[in-house]
Structure 1
Amino acid sequence: MSSSGRTLLSGNNVLTRIRVKTDRGSEFTDAEHLEHRPDGSFRCPVFYCDPMRSNQKGSLENKHHEVRYIFPKSEKDLRKLGLIDQDSLRIAVNNINSYVLKDKHGKTPYEIVQFAAPDLYEALKQHGYHQLDKNQINLTKHCLLDYKKKHQK
């Protein structure tokens, strides 16, 4: 992409384009607090999808499948899979967001953020969220077990 294309894209405020698409689960019934900050200023719009219409939130459903590779629905106690603290969650997130998205021209979520919002990507990196090398990605339920072995008593 040309430098003018990059400037145009990175010049857009990515955060103003965030929107929440969700089902009507009980955790999303208070749209007012999701859409507005505590001071009353607008944060992002919330859209409710129709029941039994997962196609209305396709990319979210695809991401859900990736999460389920690491945390299978059959496992009710995620601690058994190694989800024991914030660091282990960060490991899972880094694996999931380092995975190439076919519908995004072979780019990963981290690569897209790095391109569209470099400052946001740098802030994520400061908190330990970053792109993994392709040979390090592990989207299996064993992703966190080594971490768990090292960090549990």
Structure 2
Amino acid sequence: MDYRAGDDERKSLVGEFISVSEAFEGSADIAAARALARSFLTDVQAVHGLPVSGRAMGMVQLVVSELVTNARKYAPRPCLLTLDIRNGAVEVSVWDSSTAMPAVLGPDPARVGQHGLEIVMAVSQSFKIHREPVGKRITAALQLADDPGGDPAGRQP
């Protein structure tokens, strides 16, 4: 795996970032996308010394799974997954070539399916959808370490 970081990877990463990207094309790649996220966060902790909570590890994999699944389901292939570490958070970004913006539906316990973005928004600190020159990019940010104030998503009041 090839990560980008500052010139001296042993120095403090405040203000620096670590990133990995990979393209995915088939539905079997959803598991590979989760594995990439898990491996990336494991290395972020082991190599760069940044704390990654068990909750963050699981939630990032969930967000990756939901966003890559949506891209594979609703857009022509391929999609591009990017994971960036910035200021104590991981940004999960998925680009796809579809120009159709996703419908973000409100909670509805009677609805079967289509809860992916609802879940992503519930577990993320921030959530953005951006049109790109070709397609769109969906980005969700999650804290690497659990919030000491007790909010599991790390949101500020």
Query: Which one has the bigger helix percentage?
Result: 1
Q: TM-score, normalised by structure 2?
A: 0.30
Q: Between Structure 1 and Structure 2, which shows a larger proportion of strand residues?
A: 2
Which of the pair has more CA radius of gyration?
1
Structure 1 length-normalised TM: 0.30
